[in-house]
A and B are shown apart, each in its own frame.
Chain A
């Protein structure tokens, strides 16, 4: 085993840096992409569902039924846009997506209520969009439960048998942005790392400069580290930029320790960049390397990391797979540090995973490189 030589490592890093600088458009894109994603995800995406278009079929036409309809409007979650004679009239409107839900109050509603019988009302939902429908349903449940309680109590004071005291931690106003921005850092890093490095070795093969590189008296670890260094700097800069923009524009709090965030980011980036180089060496064409990089890094980071889709809702097989998705741990770290002010004590599992990922990434990159030269 050769000893690591700082001079040689530095020379490789400089060569890679010069090559990068000669391609200013790619460099500009490496900084533009995070900003674009931040703006898109931060501004465009909210699940704060309000003013759902509601159709009303009121067969009762009493004060009580009107009061229930008013309760739906007053909640702010629903807006009655259509008053229909028959539930059947809703068919076309739901088909074309002009209504999200229809509330049907049957005749005898007020009579049943007054007699102390259970009075049923029906809510028809456009279930095609399951997510919106689920949220709409839970809003409607809450509105009806509240109305129902008021009617039953008729102004009497009654102690509920059990009172749930719900508290929301870390993000009390339930803002989507606070969830999106820290998670986005992990997704952006995965993409940037894959894009920057997945082509670096494949490019040398396609252009025919691989033999030259192999013939230079540079140890392969020096070569890998040298190739990684410039990209690592770009990645770290991107994270810093995303963090500052996220805090300034979207008001996302950074409650934890910045140094720990930087350390975790460096480890994650090293692993992701190493993985990119490994992919690049496996597929000698840039087209293939690019496709493989998308499949191996971008998709898992987006889908299997808990960025948007909660891991507990997945089938058991996929839940098992998420344990080897590095972005899963990194998102745990970013969200933990940003929102929960968590430190190493709470996040040590994640920290150790980052170290393992960085080591494996570097090892894969180095080993794959030797194979190529020997071939």
Chain B
């Protein structure tokens, strides 16, 4: 089939103009990705810091205050309220004003000095199981350490024991952001590719301009290119924009090669565009296309490893993730950004994402041709 560059050029101009004509549209195409990047990068962290803690101190001694200081000095807990009545603690946890409650009973300092094993009650709101697991660990350890320090100062504690020194590679401070930001790039790219193409054909059909297009001398291949190239271009522009912000603003190190990143992104964007076109050709209304797109988007995100690690999923879902282009793309971007590895170490992922994209593209082209036959 021959492609007329003149007709394709006209088509591209029409599509780009339609996309960017409205200033609101321009803002959304470039503003929304930035907004997502900032939101995810700042908000989506699982670091347990400044946890709102409610304190009931029945003891009111220097020792009980020292214990509280030890907890807050760690930065993991922040006293959000205090009272003498245990009922207030219950209410604070019930309403969600506090996530952790600490109750120090009367006689705490006396028991501590006498070496009788002073008790402290730590109550954790288990609603957020993830935070609760980490917070209870921190609290228990810090209370124990406080006790050992007091005992050691009094000379009554046995010396020795094992000391664990942890060191994290690639991300020494264990900041979630370093892990999340490269992955958010993956989310933004597929969302842009999907959004821009999912409505491309169905909109013309709903407004009734599709028949006009069909009677022009344009061929299906030119039409498909005219619909996809603008989306690919905009997604690539978003890639450059978002990566630049990630490196300059968020200080995420790009340890690997930019070329390897570009190559993976291009293949990945085509996967999104292909699925978008497919949705556009099977839907009858824009609303339907929107919903089908969402039906695809949600599993793509959930089963990608963006927020929830793939290795903890049940095996059945782990197998499904193999068909998810985003899962492979995230492994590639994270590898390139954090570990500085390239195509040589990640060839399996490159191969997998190319295979998935190839499949989606052939399905889209086949369906598109049927629509215009």
Residues on A lying within 8 angstroms of B by beta carbon are 23, 25-26, 29-30, 32-33, 36-37, 40-41, 43-50, 68, 94-96, 112-113, 115-135, 137-142, 144-145, 147-149, 151-153, 158-176, 178-179, 191, 195, 199, 203, 206-207, 283, 285-288, 290-292, 294-295, 299-300, 303-304, 306, 308-310, 312-315, 317-318, 332, 335-336, 339-340, 342, 346-347, 349-350
CB–CB A141/B137 < 8 A? yes
CB–CB A131/B46 < 8 A? yes
B74 to chain A, nearest CB (A): 13
Q: Of the candidates A26, A29, A125, A174, which one forms a contact with B166 in the assembled complex, judged by CB atoms under 8 Å apart?
A: A125
Contacts of B39 in A (CB 8 A): 299-300, 303-304, 318
Contacts of B129 in A (CB 8 A): 47, 171, 174-176, 178-179
Judge whether B362 is part of the interface by a CB distance below 8 angstroms: no
Given contacts A175-B129, A290-B290, A312-B99, contact A118 B317 (CB under 8 A): no
CB–CB B179/A130 < 8 A? yes
Tell me the residues in window 146-177 of chain B with beta carbons closer than 8 Å to chain A beta carbons. 146-148, 150-151, 157-172, 174-176
Q: Of the candidates B124, B131, B288, which one forms a contact with A166 in the assembled complex, judged by CB atoms under 8 Å apart?
A: B124
9 tightest Cβ-Cβ pairs between the two chains A and B:
A127-B168, A162-B147, A161-B147, A171-B126, A127-B171, A148-B161, A159-B117, A164-B143, A138-B137
B265 to chain A, nearest CB (A): 20
Judge whether B44 is part of the interface by a CB distance below 8 angstroms: yes
CB–CB B290/A179 < 8 A? no
How many angstroms from the CA of A43 to the CA of B317 in the assembled complex?
A: 8
Given contacts A174-B126, A295-B32, A313-B46, contact A163 B171 (CB under 8 A): no
Judge whether B133 is part of the interface by a CB distance below 8 angstroms: yes
How many angstroms from the CA of A165 to the CA of B101 in the assembled complex?
A: 12
Judge whether B210 is part of the interface by a CB distance below 8 angstroms: no
Chain A binding surface SS class: helix
Judge whether B136 is part of the interface by a CB distance below 8 angstroms: yes
CB–CB B151/A161 < 8 A? yes
Contacts of B28 in A (CB 8 A): 288, 291-292, 295
Looking across the interface, which residue of chain A has its beta carbon closest to that of B52? Answer: A312
Could you show 19 A-B contacts with beta carbons less than 8 Å apart? A32-B295, A133-B168, A134-B46, A147-B162, A148-B161, A161-B112, A166-B122, A166-B123, A167-B121, A176-B129, A286-B287, A291-B195, A295-B35, A295-B36, A299-B35, A304-B39, A308-B307, A340-B93, A340-B94
CB–CB A140/B166 < 8 A? yes
Q: Of the candidates A118, A123, A199, which one forms a contact with B287 in the assembled complex, judged by CB atoms under 8 Å apart?
A: A199
Classify chain B's interface size.
Answer: 35 or more
Looking across the interface, which residue of chain A has its beta carbon closest to that of B282? Answer: A25
CB–CB A335/B96 < 8 A? yes
Given contacts A40-B299, A179-B128, contact A121 B162 (CB under 8 A): yes
Q: Of the candidates B36, B43, B134, B302, which one forms a contact with A45 in the assembled complex, judged by CB atoms under 8 Å apart?
A: B302
CB–CB A170/B169 < 8 A? no
A9 to chain B, nearest CB (A): 23
Looking across the interface, which residue of chain B has its beta carbon closest to that of A314? Answer: B43
Find the residue from B93, B129, B132 having the highest chain A CB count within 10 A: B129
Given contacts A161-B112, A312-B49, contact A129 B123 (CB under 8 A): no
CB–CB A138/B134 < 8 A? yes
Given contacts A44-B308, A128-B170, A130-B46, contact A144 B133 (CB under 8 A): no
How many angstroms from the CA of A128 to the CA of B94 in the assembled complex?
A: 35
Tell me the residues in window 166-202 of chain B with beta carbons closer than 8 Å to chain A beta carbons. 166-172, 174-176, 178-179, 195, 199
Judge whether B91 is part of the interface by a CB distance below 8 angstroms: yes
Looking across the interface, which residue of chain A has its beta carbon closest to that of B28? Answer: A291
CB–CB A145/B125 < 8 A? no
How many angstroms from the CA of A201 to the CA of B307 in the assembled complex?
A: 34
Q: Of the candidates A159, A283, A314, which one forms a contact with B42 in the assembled complex, judged by CB atoms under 8 Å apart?
A: A314
Judge whether B4 is part of the interface by a CB distance below 8 angstroms: no
Contacts of B133 in A (CB 8 A): 47, 135, 138, 174
B258 to chain A, nearest CB (A): 19
Tell me the residues in window 88-141 of chain B with beta carbons closer than 8 Å to chain A beta carbons. 91, 93-96, 99, 112, 115-134, 136-141
Judge whether B25 is part of the interface by a CB distance below 8 angstroms: yes
B194 to chain A, nearest CB (A): 11
CB–CB B290/A164 < 8 A? no
CB–CB B141/A165 < 8 A? no
Interface segment out of the listed B213-221, B334-342, B351-359:
B334-342
Judge whether B234 is part of the interface by a CB distance below 8 angstroms: no
Contacts of A95 in B (CB 8 A): 339, 341, 345
How many angstroms from the CA of A362 to the CA of B67 in the assembled complex?
A: 50
Contacts of B147 in A (CB 8 A): 160-163
Looking across the interface, which residue of chain A has its beta carbon closest to that of B130? Answer: A47
Q: Of the candidates A37, A168, A336, which one forms a contact with B124 in the assembled complex, judged by CB atoms under 8 Å apart?
A: A168
Contacts of A350 in B (CB 8 A): 95
How many angstroms from the CA of A110 to the CA of B317 in the assembled complex?
A: 44
CB–CB B95/A346 < 8 A? yes
CB–CB B91/A346 < 8 A? yes
How many angstroms from the CA of A4 to the CA of B336 in the assembled complex?
A: 61
Contacts of A285 in B (CB 8 A): 22, 25
Contact with A along B289-305 (1 / 0, CB 8 A): 01110110011001100
CB–CB A164/B122 < 8 A? yes
Contacts of A49 in B (CB 8 A): 309, 312
CB–CB A128/B312 < 8 A? no
Contacts of A46 in B (CB 8 A): 308, 312-313
Looking across the interface, which residue of chain A has its beta carbon closest to that of B44? Answer: A309
Contacts of B176 in A (CB 8 A): 130-131
Judge whether B206 is part of the interface by a CB distance below 8 angstroms: yes
Contacts of A347 in B (CB 8 A): 95
